[in-house]
Copies of this chain bind each other. A is one copy, B any other.
């Protein structure tokens, strides 16, 4: 798998405050933080930048991630991850996203969780006609 020439790097944002439905008195670290730490421990592609963020406001359907990558790519928000067990799947999709110029991964190449748990998508800054 190779990068798309000339495209910006990709950001993989992980909501580290997500409880994923656990009660407020559940022991730390939270599922979102554990997912972030699991991703940080993987061999991510060079042009996929992992960043932890506070509250993506998708609390009812977390854990949540965002994939974005410059003005020419669609931004995607995915939810309903359970925690660190999803890290490798997310890594693989982030790598595939990085290979696109527009952020659109062909439907047949999206793992079932990503087909079923897209929270929203936001057009590129340069909105296609």
Contacts and interface: CB of A to CB of B under 8 A. Distances in A.
B120 A75 contact: no
B13 A120 contact: no
Interface size class of A (residues with CB under 8 A): 20 to 34
Contacts of A13: 122-123
Number of this chain's copies in the assembly equals 2
Interface stretch (A29-37, A56-64, A89-97): A56-64
Given A53-B127, A127-B51, A127-B53, A120 B64 contact: yes
5 contacts: A13-B123, A57-B121, A66-B122, A77-B77, A120-B120
Interface of A: 13, 51, 53, 55-58, 64, 66, 68, 75-77, 118-123, 127
